[in-house]
Structure 1
Amino acid sequence: MQAIEIDETAKTLRPCEMAEPEYGERDVLIDVVAAGINRADVMQRQGLYPNPHGGPNVPGLEVSGRIAAVGRAVHQWKVGDEVCALLSGGGYAEKVAVDAGHVLPVPAGVPLEDAAALPEVMCTVYSNVFMTANLRPGEWLLVHGGGSGIGTAAIQVARAFNAHVAVTAGSQEKLDAVRPLGVELAINYRTDDFVERMRDRTGDGADVILDVVGAKYLARNVEALAPSGRLVVIGLLGGRKAELDLNKLMGKRAAVIGTTLRARPDQEKASIVAEVTAEVWPLIESGRVAPTIHARLPLDEAARGQQMLEDSTSVGKVLLTLGS
């Protein structure tokens, strides 16, 4: 099959041919129609985020397509089903094998190709913002990187659950692009202090912060938290290490939580997939939440797609397409 692999020496992407993946008794084999590009893919190419389960060095954490084969212990899916799936890697390829518990149906009304924009971002958003941080109706969510795939998904899901949403982004164009998704407070981090803007708008600050920056924002994120606030760190674009004022954290009775999705045990990921299917898929099928897609590129332009994320020129998801 055709795939895109990482040249670990040059830290670049290159087309290649490799054997089709083997699938186990609890797996399904998917003919890939499209794959989503995520920031984690860029980090994997840079040598900063290796596949925790080993295997071919092919990036890609989410795909959509049709089931080509099922393992003998799989009963919930059949050959020909149109699905999307959460992966640990391997999505930039014509076929992927994946645990059947990590597979989701394509939501009604969503084109099969576009469904590749959903699994990783929706599972990340729902598991962190709702299952971990317990965002409640009426609370304020602050999303850093509001124009990203994660950001555009978080805005819509939070609004659908009747929370208020603030975002940061680095350009007025990105802020203008995400406002229609339900943003109530749009902050340009290059010109405005998000701590002051949050306090001015809410009085206390954010109840939940979803952060992809890490060390660079740690102190200001704690400042921006409301009493009993929850900071969830899911990315390290601004570094790994920072000083934390524990007295300030304790005074607010706040929590700092660090999580990843990719390295979780299979059963944990299956539980997240099940909750997302039950809680988020109806919102998509009703039209209240929709994938935000910036570009669709052929598989052999994967490097160009990753560059869009590195240059921060995209709003929403960049997809790689492999045809019908």
Structure 2
Amino acid sequence: MYAITIPEPGGPEALVWTEVPDPELGEGEVLVDVAASAVNRADVLQRQGYYDPPPGASPYPGLECAGRISALGPGVSGWSVGDEVCALLAGGGYAQKVAVPAGQLLPVPKGVDLAHAAALPEVAATVWSNVFMVAHLRPGETLLVHGGASGIGTMAIQLAKAVGARVAVTASGGRKLDHCAELGADVLIDYREQDFVVEVRKATDGAGADVILDIMGAKYLSRNVDALAVNGRLAIIGLQGGAKAELDLGKLLAKRAAVMATTLRARPLAEKASIIAAVREHVWPLIESGRVKPVVDRTIAMREVAEAHRVVEASEHVGKVVLVA
């Protein structure tokens, strides 16, 4: 088969379409012929040499895919050759074929094509596990999403609205905030010109956000704590603004608030399977009913992956950039 490889870390040109051995199926795995994958920030970090795959994972980038099952490994039940699926991966999505633990498979939602299905697993699993399974967002509460126009952001807006929450977002103004509004965001904050702490407090009559989904890390830590409501929960899922910052524990104590940080890629298979099962139960019906939809900015041929990485690094997109075979 062919896959996108990274012979040496570097810029987008470091991604090379190369002939490599076919994956070998292990116990409980299925082989998926990849029709589409999607670009995530983690792929960019891996290409740059900052985010190695976990032990045992495929060395090729790509944390999600969609396609058709072409073979079943030992011990697999409930799936058949020919099934259209999408999958959460620890790596290997930028390839013609990938071996996937059966617990990380999802059926392609009814009414969704393979290109759009490839944009779903990573964002659905990330948002559901953090906003709902960890931070326990409830109806009537306020969720603040940083990077509202990102793939994760566009999914978080829709899922939070679907369960009856109020949503505030930060984005770089203009087109991106317009898209957030179209998806249902109630409070639109241009982080280049507005202080999100002030705007969230204004929109909540001084109470603050009950849950914050944060991709920035250190840069926003102090202000995120300021923006939290009493009993608020801050879920950190990215470090685009750095990894180290001072945390005022006095503010947390006064608010009886919590700071949580999670990753998804390196979790044990059982944990990923549990998250995927929850996504299938809670998120897939919303997608099939049309209440939640995958947001795809553009599709690019997998061999032109360098261009896709340039788009993502420049933050020119809204939603996901999808690679098609």
State the match for 2:301 in structure 1: 298
State the match for 1:138 in structure 2: 140
State the match for 1:123 in structure 2: 125
Instruction: Out of 59-68 and 112-121, give the one that drifted further.
Output: 112-121
* In 2: Cα distance, 1:286 partner to 1:257 partner: 32
- 1:314 equivalent to 2:317? Answer yes
* In 1: Cα distance, 2:57 partner to 2:132 partner: 32
SS in 1 for 2:123: helix
In the TM superposition, what are the counterparts of 1:35-74 in structure 2 within 5 Å? 35-74=37-76
* In 1: Cα distance, 2:10 partner to 2:297 partner: 28
* In 2: Cα distance, 1:216 partner to 1:102 partner: 33
* In 2: Cα distance, 1:256 partner to 1:226 partner: 12
**Of residues 16, 23, 31 in structure 2, which corresponds to 1:14?**
16
Give 1:58's aligned amino acid: Y
Deviations 1:95-114 (A, max 9, x none): 00010010000111111221
- Tell me: CA distance 1:135–1:7, structure 2 relative to 1, closer, same or farther (3 Å): same
Give 1:71's aligned amino acid: G
State the match for 2:111 in structure 1: 109
* In 2: Cα distance, 1:253 partner to 1:160 partner: 27
* In 2: Cα distance, 1:248 partner to 1:44 partner: 36
State the match for 2:256 in structure 1: 253
Total equivalences in the alignment: 322
* In 1: Cα distance, 2:113 partner to 2:10 partner: 36
SS in 2 for 1:296: strand
* In 2: Cα distance, 1:121 partner to 1:26 partner: 24
SS in 2 for 1:260: coil
* In 2: Cα distance, 1:289 partner to 1:56 partner: 31
**Structure 2: tracts of 5 or more residues without a match:** none
- Tell me: CA distance 1:9–1:320, structure 2 relative to 1, closer, same or farther (3 Å): closer
State the match for 1:270 in structure 2: 273
Give 1:185's aligned amino acid: V
* In 2: Cα distance, 1:270 partner to 1:204 partner: 36
Give the drift of 1:54. Answer: 4.3
* In 2: Cα distance, 1:313 partner to 1:256 partner: 30
State the match for 2:85 in structure 1: 83
TM-score, normalised relative to structure 2: 0.97
What is the aligned-residue identity percentage? 61
SS in 1 for 2:24: coil
* In 1: Cα distance, 2:218 partner to 2:236 partner: 9
Deviations 1:216-257 (A, max 9, x none): 000000000000000000000000000000101110000000
Give the drift of 1:9. Answer: 4.1
In the TM superposition, what are the counterparts of 1:145-224 in structure 2 within 5 Å? 145-202=147-204, 203-224=206-227
Q: Conserved in 2, the CA contact under 8 Å of 1:212 and 1:235?
A: yes
